[in-house]
Amino acid sequence: ARVTRLIGVREESVQITHGNYSGAKDRLPRTPVVEVLEVRQGTTVFTEGTDYVVVGDEIDWSLSGAEPAPGSAYTVVYRYQADIEASVSEDRSRIYVSGLAEGTTFYVDYEYYLPRVDRIVLTREGDLKVLKGAPSEIPLPPEVTGGLSLARIRVEYARTPEIVPDFFRAFRMSDIQELFRRVRDIEYNLARLSLMEDARAQDPTTTKRGIFVDPFYDDDLRDAGYEQTAVISGGLLQPAVVYDVREIRRGAPVTLPFNPRLAISQEVGTRTRKVNRLTWHEPPPGKLSVSPQSFRFVVRETVTNQGTGTTFTSSTQIVTISEPVPVPSVTLSYEAEK
């Protein structure tokens, strides 16, 4: 940036010679005057509003208070506004000013640089080229024709240029489908809002009663006092279908009535023979079937707690049997298979 003009308030103490007559007006040397801080002559301090009044750039002694003798000198401390040039310097981020009165306001005119966005482009010939953008308050990158944009460079005054690579990525089909689903939901919601606005606009507010838009999500907006002959499913209102639910048997396939028909047959069989007659193997273990395969019986034991007097207590507890329990006799049958 570059400062072109700076206007500030400075403070100065000067000697002023009073006029040749009482009640004269004394003009201050530097103008325009912002305020007078003190008027003193020796040990006498004059009061503004009682002894004098500041009118424009002059001190008016026409009041009936104390006044310096005509032709005598007195000291005035005042502040004035001036263009400041020699005591101003700047860098990329700050303005340095000296000589201004503390706590005062100054005005500055300065020039600054607008940001811009450039592009790094790979041309068809394989060369790298920088396309400079137009400076603006809201800069936009230049259009690319006949090349591939590799990165954007944001150039701002007093800041390091920021490089933003241009990524060209391929999206998965699942991401594209998710994006499509979201766009479809947005279109549906906009269509619903449009229906609601149309319903509101067709009738005046004073006469519109009972008008609403049903998105067919559920049965909340349906009249529970009337029999409903249509059903809502998937956001659609459709005629009801009477379903007859029947339970089928489990444990075996359920098919329609059928007649078996020969589709393919194998009428030729094969047999086996030993290749090495001297090879000896143990016979395979036999299969033994026991019937019945399981037998259940119940062992009961009753424990009674007797009470004395007028109280009686009873309890149920788990009893561990340590003695052998007699098992009822049962007849088993065996069947061995080779």
Q: Do 36 and 74 share a domain, yes or no?
A: yes
CB 59 within 8 A of CB 52: yes
Q: Is the pLDDT of residue 282 over 80?
A: no
End-to-end CA, the chain = 107
CB 25 within 8 A of CB 55: yes
Instruction: Provide the pLDDT confidence category of residue 298 given band limits of 50, 70 and 90.
Output: low
Is 99 or 326 the better-scoring residue by pLDDT?
99
Tens digit of pLDDT for each residue in 132-169?
A: 999 999 999 999 988 889 999 999 988 899 999 987 77
Contacts of 207 (CB under 8 A, 6+ apart): none
Q: State the sign of the Cα–Cα–Cα–Cα dihedral 183, 184, 189, 194.
A: positive
Q: What is the pLDDT of residue 315?
A: 44
Q: CA 136 to CA 114: how far, in whole Å?
A: 6
* Number of structural domains in the chain: 3
Q: Which domain does 36 fall in, by range?
A: 2-83
Average model confidence (pLDDT) across the chain: 80
| Three-state secondary structure of 99-165 | CCCCCCCCEEEEECCCCEEEEEEEECCCCEEEECCCCCCCCCCCCCCCEEEEEEEEECCCCCCEEEE
Q: State the sign of the Cα–Cα–Cα–Cα dihedral 9, 13, 17, 19.
A: positive
Radius of gyration of the chain (CA): 54
Residue 66: HSE in the Cβ half-sphere, 13 Å Cα cutoff: 10
Tens digit of pLDDT for each residue in 98-108?
A: 888 888 989 99
Q: CA 134 to CA 112: how far, in whole Å?
A: 15
Entry pTM = 0.43
Instruction: Provide the pLDDT confidence category of residue 40 given band limits of 50, 70 and 90.
Output: very high
Overall size of the chain counted in residues: 338
Q: Do 14 and 70 share a domain, yes or no?
A: yes
Q: Do 36 and 62 share a domain, yes or no?
A: yes
As given in the structure block, the two tokens for residue 82 are 């001036």
Q: What is the pLDDT of residue 72?
A: 92
- Supply the DSSP symbol for 200: H
**207 located within any domain:** yes
Mean local confidence (pLDDT), 248-271: 80
**130 located within any domain:** yes
Q: CA 319 to CA 317: how far, in whole Å?
A: 6
Q: Is the pLDDT of residue 316 over 60?
A: no
Mean local confidence (pLDDT), 268-295: 71
**202 located within any domain:** yes
Q: Do 132 and 179 share a domain, yes or no?
A: no
**128 located within any domain:** yes
